[in-house]
Amino acid sequence: MSDATHVASGKVREIYALDDERLLLVASDRISTFDVVLPTDIPDKGRVLTGLSAFWFARTREIVPNHLLELRDDGRSMECRRLEMLPIECVVRGYITGSGWKDYQATGEVCGHRLPAGLVESEQLPEPIFTPATKAHTGHDENITREQAAALVGEERFAEAERISLALYRHGSEWAAARGIVLADTKFELGLDPAGRLVLGDEALTPDSSRFWPADSYEPGRGQPSFDKQFVRDYCETRGWDKTAPGPELPDDVVDGTRARYVEAFERLTDIAFDDYLADPEVVVR
Ligand SMILES: Nc1ncnc2c1ncn2[C@@H]1O[C@H](COP(=O)(O)OP(=O)(O)O)[C@@H](O)[C@H]1O
Ligand SMILES: [Mg+2]
């Protein structure tokens, strides 16, 4: 890639600078679970993430402008506008699970939102809530209150990020619900363009940034099987892994099962055959 300078490696993406204004984000096939990148790749996972993100970017421009400039033919690389990312993760929760469930059990609140008493695990919330988190450079992100988040980005920007994130969640959850998928919660990353406008960056409404649950087996009162990473998580549990690096190698059946679920998520959410995407990535933005 002679036209690009490598600038960073994330857990999943390689980031290259094309020039002062543009980045190339290349989604690898790496998979992380419990925040540890595993030694085994899931073939095409990066293409699923890039294709789904581009699909949503094309459909949410009315809600917020986004960083996508061009999808490359390999299906895993996108040229993006370089943004100054906000120092918070914009998390929206429609259901009480994960760290939200832990916080609620301890305090009755999530990120300063007081919730009704007596919620059970995985229950739908009366309204989706905006629950920002810090961007941890190492380790786990930490939930913060709206006051803490507003102190980091400013009151006005905080209010705008909340409004945009809730609107994106509503759009995604309605779309997914019509296709038999519960969007339990999701994370967006917003940044500022040179004019100071908020722009949606990173990936959006993918299995890596969201909890998708199959609607037909959804049942409040217990943890839900994850649509995509469940094979990997179950396998890691049976290995008695302590969830610190390095993670275990994955056997072929776990790799195949996981790849199939990522592809199924792509196809169910986009109504597009994954093979059609591989043949011509532009199908997701038409
Ligand atoms: N348009 C953009 N401008 C600048 N940085 C971006 C943009 N879009 C995404 N990023 C950053 O690129 C990185 C994406 O790589 P990824 O592997 O997902 O990282 P992580 O391990 O932090 O999730 C993230 O740090 C994200 O904040
Ligand atoms: Mg990321």
Q: Tens digits of per-residue pLDDT, 6-16?
A: 999 999 999 99
Q: Quick check: 1 pLDDT over 60?
A: no
Q: Is the CB of 113 under 6 A from ligand 1?
A: no
Averaged pLDDT of the chain: 96
Give the whole-angstrom CA distance, residue 178 versus residue 137. 36
Q: What percent of the chain has pLDDT over 90?
A: 91
Could you identify the atom of ligand 1 that is nearest to the CA of residue 10? 17
Q: Do residues 133 and 141 touch, judged by C-beta distance below 8 A?
A: yes
pTM metric for this prediction: 0.96
Look at ligand 1, atom 16, and give the residue with the nearest C-alpha.
Answer: 10
Query: What pLDDT digit, counting tens, does each position of 22-54 carry?
Result: 999 999 999 998 889 999 999 999 999 999 999
Could you identify the atom of ligand 1 that is nearest to the CA of residue 189? 27
Burial of 275 from C-beta contacts in 10 A (0-12 / 13-18 / 19+)? exposed
Look at ligand 1, atom 10, and give the residue with the nearest C-alpha.
Answer: 202
Query: Quick one: pLDDT at residue 202?
Result: 98
Give the whole-angstrom CA distance, residue 5 versus residue 18. 7
The stretch 273-284 carries a mean pLDDT of 98
**149 falls in which pLDDT band (50, 70, 90)?**
very high
Between the alpha carbon of residue 139 and those of residues 11, 36, 135, 149, 209, the distances in Å are: 12, 9, 10, 19, 16
Could you identify the atom of ligand 1 that is nearest to the CA of residue 199? 1
